Chains A and B, each alone.
Chain A
């Protein structure tokens, strides 16, 4: 719905992505503000998924946009502009993670079977609730889960980004997924 509205606005007011980028490259503050307003919400979600708290997420977002504006002239108009910006923001988040020196701990999970979640439980889950559940994951799990499931990176890419083995990334993802599913089950029980 929102994307549709934005598309209609762009059509009505001739604000093409190209013009937006060009204006930002020329350091036009109005255009920069417009770009910020258009993408800040999405990227805030990205930052919140990696950050410890709201304050760190704000720092990440701020640094991410500064990097975007300073490096916008390097955008080659190849591929998705949003994807290009998103990668910058994710890299900023990972830089913050590296500062925290996160540990990729192995946590024992009881049982080998995949938790069975009631199909209806998913319907009850909103984005905010999922965000909260993800934020409860240990840092290492969370980073791998975010990069793999939401950002779409492969395990080899994650290994390079986080400086770990690809196999570690795989095991962390499996355990993160299990942990998250268990949390959803717990949530379902509470809701019932």
Chain B
């Protein structure tokens, strides 16, 4: 017999040969697997996830708070305009207070954040204008047009030059556009050529002190409070400024105030009653432990059940207490689904196997030997059942909210009280038999009375109308305690994460919203 034939013979005999497996080896494998079970990645830990959400919430809140401390309510898309009946003494002081001769210009130059040096000539220009009234206003069409008309009828070049030089503020033309760069350059040249004439010319000075000028300040100037450099004690500021399309807001500075310390653009006021409608896809994470010291049963229960998601929908009514703090409560419906898979034995068959072999004895006779063996074959089928858990809950939540124009951020925390839970499906009993799971049965697996979950969220709100906000609210909630009865032999709770998408209405009929 050749090597190949010999090798093939051995291979055929042994490759698929089955040896006896001792009883109890499977149990050893299971025990060993438990010991060597790979720990879950740290990011799947509920506490870690909660901590991350908390850190992000605190970070965003802090950022919002710091920004709001800078009197920030201006949105990215809104330009703040300063309207002046003249260039004021504040311009003078602005120049004087910036003795180091640097003003940041983020707006009117091609290169951002360009620093402009003031020349001596510019400094001497400034003291010309006194007793001016400064009016700070958000741009709106009628005012722009009115102001522009005056610009057109005035000595455009002087105003243009001064505005351009000192605070990088650009006058408007009567056609609604800014004065072109060429004009500014031209005027600059004119002024540079004859600065003394402008200063000494009473007609020019008079015109400047009486002419309304629309000047543009960059958002950064306002946010950084550097615009206050343009105003000093004694300047008057208008009371109402329309900074966005959601309503008139009040200035902190009164019309006759003579104590301007800084330009304050307060938070958009939020007060009164609100109602929120929301819905969320949920990702549920089950947390299971054994109360019966039966590790095998716990393992079977844990491995045969897997949460497959759910949703929450509900409404909340809230009341603002102060501008930023609110308390909300309502009612919500939560449904969670759990997949339960088990192996069901469907058939047992005894199969008789006859193996025939033969050999030739010394006398040349062929001897046939028939071996008989019986094997038992078991048939299984995998059954999948989806268990559902439906809960009616009352959220009680406190929120702290800060905002920037149309955008607001809120950090919320509270409790969710479970009023009732209805469940239906199948599960294993302690003897590993599949039994129905129903809240209608007496002595059920899960308690259907009240339980409590802690709730934390971070909301992002956007004002889509005067009385309506849209919001997205990522949240995390965790059940306190156990929602199983003593019948089940295990302790089970849920952590859930999701994002509430919803609409918030201000309730107009209630007094608080006026």
Contacts and interface: CB of A to CB of B under 8 A. Distances in A.
Contact of A130 (B3, B7, B13, B359): B13
Contacts of B342: 28, 30
Interface stretch (A61-69, A97-105, A153-161): A61-69
A150 B30 contact: no
A42 B381 contact: no
A62 B32 contact: yes
Given A41-B19, A127-B17, A120 B359 contact: yes
Interface string A72-114: 0000000000000000000000000000000000000000001
B92 to A, nearest CB: 75
Main secondary structure of the interface of A (DSSP, over half): helix
A29 interface: yes
A164 interface: no
Contact of A14 (B17, B18, B357, B381): B381
Contacts of B449: none
Contacts of B6: 177, 181
Given A30-B380, A31-B382, A41 B18 contact: yes
Nearest to A63: B32
A123 B358 contact: yes
Q: What range describes how many residues of B lie at the interface?
A: 35 or more
A144 to B, nearest CB: 12
Q: What range describes how many residues of A lie at the interface?
A: 35 or more
Given A26-B306, A130-B13, A131-B14, A36 B29 contact: yes
A73 to B, nearest CB: 10
Nearest to A19: B382
Contacts of A41: 18-21
Interface in B336-375: 341-343, 346-347, 351, 353, 357-360, 362, 375
Interface in B1-44: 1, 3, 6-7, 9-11, 13-22, 25-26, 28-30, 32-33, 36-38
Nearest to A54: B22
A166 interface: no
B304 interface: yes
Interface in A1-54: 1-3, 5, 9, 12-15, 19, 23, 26-34, 36-37, 40-42, 44-45, 48-49, 54
A48 B415 CA distance: 60
A13 B17 contact: no
Contacts of B343: 23, 28, 30-31, 34
A150 B15 contact: yes
Given A122-B9, A192-B362, A15 B380 contact: yes
Contact of B303 (A13, A29, A192): A29
A61 B21 contact: yes
Contact of B26 (A2, A33, A192): A33
Main secondary structure of the interface of B (DSSP, over half): mixed
A7 to B, nearest CB: 12
Interface string B190-202: 0000000000000
B143 interface: no
Contacts of A58: 22, 25, 28
A69 B33 contact: yes
Given A29-B304, A149-B10, A181-B6, A13 B25 contact: no
A42 B19 CA distance: 6
B377 interface: yes
B379 A13 contact: yes
B300 interface: yes
A9 B382 contact: no
Contacts of A171: none
B299 interface: yes
B33 A123 contact: no
A82 B128 CA distance: 95
A180 to B, nearest CB: 8
A122 B357 CA distance: 11
Interface string B326-342: 00000000000000011
Contacts of A12: 347, 379
Given A12-B379, A31-B382, A26 B303 contact: yes
Given A44-B18, A44-B20, A69-B33, A149 B300 contact: no
A66 B32 contact: yes
A123 B359 contact: yes
B341 A28 contact: yes
Contacts of B353: 1-2
A28 B347 CA distance: 20
Given A13-B381, A130-B10, A27 B303 contact: yes
B26 to A, nearest CB: 5
B29 A65 contact: yes
A36 to B, nearest CB: 5
Contact of A123 (B22, B357, B377, B381): B357
A41 B20 CA distance: 6
B346 A13 contact: yes
Contacts of B10: 130, 149-150, 180
A70 interface: yes
B132 to A, nearest CB: 75
Contacts of A27: 303
Interface of B: 1, 3, 6-7, 9-11, 13-22, 25-26, 28-30, 32-33, 36-38, 299-300, 303-304, 306, 341-343, 346-347, 351, 353, 357-360, 362, 375, 377, 379-382
5 contacts: A28-B343, A45-B14, A120-B359, A180-B10, A181-B6
Q: Which 7 A-B pairs have the closest CB atoms?
A: A41-B18, A30-B343, A44-B19, A27-B303, A127-B17, A40-B21, A45-B19
Given A40-B25, A126-B13, 19 more contacts: A1-B353, A2-B18, A23-B341, A26-B341, A27-B303, A28-B341, A36-B26, A36-B29, A45-B14, A45-B18, A66-B33, A66-B36, A69-B33, A114-B3, A124-B357, A130-B13, A131-B17, A149-B7, A192-B362
